[in-house]
């Protein structure tokens, strides 16, 4: 029988930040990471009704979550020189260049994704979708 547990968003965010800190430390091996994640789940999230097998599965899944930071910069392009200018207001119908940096903190052994409604394992891929939130218009889609 499947059990359902409630975890608040702030606890989940704290959990992701904790995994990020652990993942940055390259001296930690998988067993150390797994044990620290299990401690966090039982101590911080107050989920103490999990048996050891369930706790191991949860720690394993947590270690496979990609921990990411996304940052971006928008540059306007000078019409005369084609130079990139950062922090200049964007003028409607002008050309812009967007630089997106995706930083992955944890070293995931394989890049496979499991989805219960899809029968085969697939490689993880990222999409960048840029849109106008006022008009709900998709401006650009990049794989």
**What is the value of pTM for the model shown?**
0.56
pLDDT computed for residue 17 by the predictor: 77
pLDDT computed for residue 138 by the predictor: 92
pLDDT computed for residue 135 by the predictor: 92
Tens place of pLDDT per residue across the chain (143 aa): 555 555 555 666 777 777 777 766 666 677 777 788 888 777 776 666 677 787 787 777 777 777 778 888 888 877 777 778 877 777 777 788 888 888 877 666 667 776 677 788 777 778 888 888 889 999 889 88
Contacting residues for 102 by C-beta, under 8 A, at least 6 apart: 68, 69, 70, 126
pLDDT computed for residue 47 by the predictor: 64
pLDDT computed for residue 137 by the predictor: 92
pLDDT computed for residue 14 by the predictor: 77
Helix-, strand-, coil-residue percentages of the chain, each rounded to 5: 30, 25, 45
Pinpoint the alpha helices (H) of the chain. 9-24, 30-43, 52-64
């Amino acid at each position: 029988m499947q059990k359902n547990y409630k975890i608040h968003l702030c606890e989940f965010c704290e959990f992701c930040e904790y995994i990020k800190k652990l993942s940055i430390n390259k001296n930690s091996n998988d067993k150390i990471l797994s044990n620290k994640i299990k401690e966090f789940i039982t101590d911080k999230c107050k989920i103490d009704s999990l048996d050891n097998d369930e706790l191991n599965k949860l720690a394993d899944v947590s270690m496979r979550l990609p921990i990411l930071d996304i940052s971006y910069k928008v540059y306007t392009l000078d019409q005369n020189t084609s130079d990139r200018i950062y922090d200049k207001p964007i003028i409607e119908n002008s050309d812009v260049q967007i630089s997106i940096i995706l930083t992955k903190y944890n070293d995931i052994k394989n890049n496979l994704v499991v989805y219960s409604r899809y029968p085969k394992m697939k490689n993880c891929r990222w999409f960048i979708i840029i849109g106008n939130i006022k008009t709900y218009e998709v401006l650009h889609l990049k794989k």
